[in-house]
Amino acid sequence: FHVRYKCSPVSFSPWVTYSFTTRPDCGKPGNLLVTAIDTNSATLQWINIATATSYQYLIDNQRAAPANGAGTTTLTTPFISLTSLTEGTWYYIHYRSLCAGNDSSAWQLDSFRTPIPCRRPVLGLSTLTADNSIVFWSPVKTAISYEYFLGSTSTEPVVGTPIKTYSVQTPY
């Protein structure tokens, strides 16, 4: 970098030279890999950036990047184990590299959804008469269909009769 004064239209001071080296690029963290995800936990990792001294992240339910890093967590490895998540919830992760000299990369945005488990139905009985009954259960968000088996044994069957509704009229 060279600077000099202009004292008049024809008079200049001698040049002063200042040299410096720019810092290496504080690259954005690589693609997110979500593993070991279940209804209430997940493991997240991304590619390590050689120039990063640490990483900053925020897990929330908003697409917008955190303002000025508010609410974020800093860690030294590109790896997070999350717990206490809510099933069936869409989460956004905002993450970036932090480098020497208060430099940082742009925010990366990715997302993941915790699954809803396929739970056992809770059965109910209505209209019990000498000839028949109606067995019903609450619909389940993750169910694409149901199966039932009617028999005189308490042993669980291997397969059942497929059905799309969530009630069955049974003969007595």
Provide φ and ψ at 56, rounded to 5°.
-125, 140
The tokens of 35 are what? Answer: 């593993």
pLDDT at 158: 93
Residue 81 has pLDDT above 90, yes or no: yes
**pTM of this prediction?**
0.71
What value does the mean pLDDT take over residues 92-115? 94
DSSP 68: G
Q: Kindly tell me the burial class for residue 98, based on how many C-beta atoms sit within 10 Å of its own C-beta (0-12, 13-18, 19 or more).
A: buried
C-alpha angle 37/40/45, rounded to 5°? Answer: 40
